[in-house]
Chains A and B, each alone.
Chain A
């Protein structure tokens, strides 16, 4: 099992790998978006602009399929950020992983890495530096928590009456069940995303152990992982929109 490069900083655990990978993901997403909007043109769009517009239209489709596009307009940028961030995060761990082997307590920024602090002679620890940030359950939980807070906040703010009423439906006795349903949503989101990506990376590690024999499997699995990464980003985004529309948007029909 690989360990995370965690250092203690002012009483807090700081997962350097998670921080770095989050920063890398953010940077890639931000650079892509900036490149896409660098030469915006109304009449003669560049390829990047066309690509970005395709992504925006894709997200508009997702939002439009769960709620009316008029009410969903503010959530398009949220959906865009989610899908781009998760997709890029999912792919980051595919091409490479950076693992260091530590035989003695290693120091980073003047702090000792926790996993190596208690190493004795002959023992060693594998420190995983480069991975998909979404292969860490804490990261996916953070994303899911954002969705959880957002959907409940929007529900209470925009749709108070129906939001509270829905906890007592169809009968008041269902209240605990409804609360569990509410809480289970972010947990399901977090675990689904984490498990898919983490399993992908574990399998990549396993295939690497096969040596040269594993090269065709590696090709197949990398391709499939790209598909899984895109699919998970799509699922996360569409579920977010479904939840938000469930809680925050009260359609007149029902």
Chain B
């Protein structure tokens, strides 16, 4: 085994050339791209972090909005329940009043009609009875002059005492 100093020199030259070639044609670009990739990853991480924060805030907001909406809905239902029951009560009240009023009116009408009918009936009965009475009296007076006399006298008496 011999050690050739020429080989040592050749190796050093070869290594130097390889180093220069790689530096010029490969590593520069590679390091640049790696740096870019590192920045990209960092940027993406940062972006992801921001997005997550935003998403969290958004979810929080949504939760709040949801609970608010729920609250509002509850209030509306509550309100409508109250108003509907009030309305029902009002309606009922109104209906009751109407019914009472109608009933009263009907009663009054009935009363009126009845009294009118009674009045009319009474008048008619009076006329009939006078007719019947006058007819009866006519017949009596024709048949019995004494009685006639008596009756006339009685009338005259009555008229006299009254006036």
Given A30-B22, A42-B36, A146 and B12 touching (CB < 8 A)? yes
Query: Chain A: interface residue count, which band?
Result: 35 or more
* A124: interface (CB < 8 Å): no
**B26:A141 contact, CB within 8 angstroms:** no
* A205: interface (CB < 8 Å): no
* B7: interface (CB < 8 Å): yes
**B22:A81 contact, CB within 8 angstroms:** yes
Q: Which of A131-139, A157-165, A173-181, A226-234 sits within the interface?
A: A131-139
* Interface of B, helix, strand, loop or mixed by DSSP: helix
* Smallest CB gap from A52: residue in B: B30
* A37: interface (CB < 8 Å): yes
**A80:B6 contact, CB within 8 angstroms:** no
- Expressed in whole angstroms, the minimum distance between the Cβ of A113 and any Cβ of chain B is 14
Partner pick for A145 among B1, B8, B19, CB 8 A cutoff: B8
* B155: interface (CB < 8 Å): no
Query: Which chain B residues in 1-32 approach chain A with CB under 8 Å?
Result: 1, 3-12, 14-19, 21-23, 25-27, 29-31
Bound Cα distance A37, B17 (Å): 19
* A65: interface (CB < 8 Å): no
Given A45-B37, A136-B7, A40 and B12 touching (CB < 8 A)? no
* B95: interface (CB < 8 Å): no
* B136: interface (CB < 8 Å): no
Given A30-B18, A45-B37, A139 and B11 touching (CB < 8 A)? yes
**A12:B18 contact, CB within 8 angstroms:** no
**A81:B6 contact, CB within 8 angstroms:** no
Q: Which of A16-24, A98-106, A209-217, A246-254 sits within the interface?
A: A16-24
Contacting residues, chain B, for A133 (C-beta < 8 A)? 11
**B22:A22 contact, CB within 8 angstroms:** no
Query: Which chain A residues in 138-193 approach chain B with CB under 8 Å?
Result: 138-139, 141-143, 145-146
* Smallest CB gap from B34: residue in A: A53
**B12:A142 contact, CB within 8 angstroms:** yes
* A77: interface (CB < 8 Å): yes
Partner pick for B15 among A37, A43, A142, CB 8 A cutoff: A142
**B11:A143 contact, CB within 8 angstroms:** yes
Bound Cα distance A56, B23 (Å): 13
* B48: interface (CB < 8 Å): no
**A22:B4 contact, CB within 8 angstroms:** no
Contacting residues, chain A, for B34 (C-beta < 8 A)? 53, 56
Bound Cα distance A239, B23 (Å): 21
Bound Cα distance A63, B40 (Å): 24
Given A33-B27, A137-B3, A145 and B12 touching (CB < 8 A)? yes
- Expressed in whole angstroms, the minimum distance between the Cβ of B78 and any Cβ of chain A is 56
Q: List 6 A-B contacts (CB under 8 A).
A: A33-B25, A34-B26, A42-B33, A76-B31, A142-B7, A143-B12
Residues of A within 8 A of B (CB): 1, 6, 12-15, 18-19, 22-23, 26, 29-30, 33-34, 36-37, 40-43, 45, 49, 52-53, 56, 76-78, 80-81, 85, 133, 136-139, 141-143, 145-146
